[in-house]
Every structure is written in C-alpha cells, then in structure tokens.
Amino acid sequence: MTGDRQRFTPLQRLLHWLMAVCILAMLFIGVGMVSTVKPKYLTLVSIHKPLGIAILALALVRLAVRLRYGTPPLPADLPEPMKLAAQLSHYALYVLMIGMPLLGWGMLSALFGGVHLPAILPQSDGLHTLLWNAHFYLAFVFFALILLHLAAALFHALVRRDGVFDAMAPVSSHHEIAPAE
C-alpha cells in the first residue's frame, strides 16, 4: 500500500469507470433478458455472455493493478465502523466482479452442449441448478451493493467532502484548493 498518494492512478480510475459502465449494463441486461420473450431476448443474451467474459478479464487486470499500486488511504478522521464497512464492501465487490462471470461460465459448462468457451466444469444437472441460482440471486446482491457503494461515494462527495470521492473521480475537482482547507 502506497499511503502517500491522494488519488488512484489514472489506470485504476480508467478501469473503475469502464467497469462501472460494463457491470451496470450487465446487470440491467441480465434482469431484462430473463423477463422477456421478445426478440430482444436473443440480442441481450448475445451481449451478456461476451460482456461477462470481458468483465472477468478486466476484473483480474484490476486486481493485479490494485495489488501493485494499492489504494490511497482513507481519511484519518473516518469513523472506524465506516472504515470497516468500506473495506468489507470492497472485498465483496471484488468477489462479485470475479465470481459472477465465473458462475455464469460454469453454468454454461454444466449445461448440456451449451458453450463455445472451454468448459470449466463437467455437465451436471445438480451443478447447473446450483450455479444458476447463485448467479441469479447474487445479481441482486451485486446491484444492492453497487447502490450502497454509490450512496457512500455521494456521501463522501457531498456531505463529508473528505476527498474520498475525488480519489476515484475521473477528473479532480479539487486541484486548486488552498492548503488551508
């Protein structure tokens, strides 16, 4: 952890916002495709699968970049429960970013004759059901966590104004702030 940096590196910020767009699109496509019989069903499914693999690849790159460059420190005056919540929610986000595509991929592997990707699991009725349920319900957990993440980010940006949001903002809004503040 390099504690002296105030903001995430440009690469980390790029990955964050790119993945934010991809993951939100992915979650909306997911709930949309399982609730329609219209022709867009096929279009949505055909985006969902490759986009999932793209997110998996981006998440692994992002994890490596994070291990290499670390994160800026949280504000010293942040109450301990908030610090803990911040850390735990970020672990959960990483688990889901990597886990959801793997569950989806595994699900297609366990399905009979389902994928053009190499199968990562054997075909199995029981396994398919387990993975399908996990993939489905975790999608809602994932979205709830993203809303929580967004609420916390806005809380830092608008209420606490402690620089946490600025650390990940695409462009810094505080570059001319007087040191006194």
Partner 1 sequence: MAQPHQSSARSMFGSLALIAVVIGCGAAAFAYTAGWFSPQRLTPDKMVDALKPPTGEPLGHRRNHAKGICFTGVFEANGAGTALSHAQVFTRGQYPVVGRFNLGTADPNAPDATVRVRGMGLRISTPDGQEWRSAMIDPPIFPVSTPQAFYELLLASASKDPNAMKTFAAARPEFAAFGAWATSGPWTGSYAEERYNGLNSFVFTDSSGAERTVRWSLLPAAQPMSVSPDDLAKRGPDFLEQEITERLRGGPLRWTMVVTVANPGDPTADPSKAWPEDRRTVEVGTLTVEQIEPERNGPCRDINFDPTVLPSGMRTSDDPFPAARSSVYAKSYDLRTAEAKDYPRTAKDAKP
Site of interaction with partner 1 (CB under 8 A): 27-28, 31-42, 45, 111-113, 116, 123, 125-126, 128-129, 132, 143, 147, 150-151, 154-155, 158-159
Instruction: Rank residues 12 and 105 by Cβ distance to partner 1 and give the closer one.
Output: 105
CB 178, min distance to partner 1, A: 18
Question: DSSP letters of 98-144?
Answer: HHHHHHHHHHHHHSTT--SSPPSS---HHHHHHHHHHHHHHHHHHHH
Task: Indicate the residue among 41 and 94 with the shorter CB distance to partner 1.
Answer: 41
Closest CA to 108 of 63, 56, 69: 56
Q: Are 82 and 162 in contact (CB under 8 A)?
A: no
CB of 36 to partner 1, least distance (A): 7
Tokens 């990955």, residue located? 15
User: Taken in order 51, 56, 57, 63, is the CA torsion positive or negative?
Assistant: positive
Residue 24 vs 57, nearer CB to partner 1: 24
Give the nearer residue to partner 1 in terms of CB position, either 31 or 63.
Answer: 31
CB 1 to partner 1: min, Å:
29
Q: How distant, in Å, are the alpha carbons of 76, 122, 152, 164 from that of 73?
A: 8, 43, 16, 9
Structure token digits, residue 3? 């504690």
CB of 70 to partner 1, least distance (A): 28
From the CB of 127, what's the least distance to partner 1, in Å? 9
Closer CB to partner 1, residue 16 or residue 66?
16
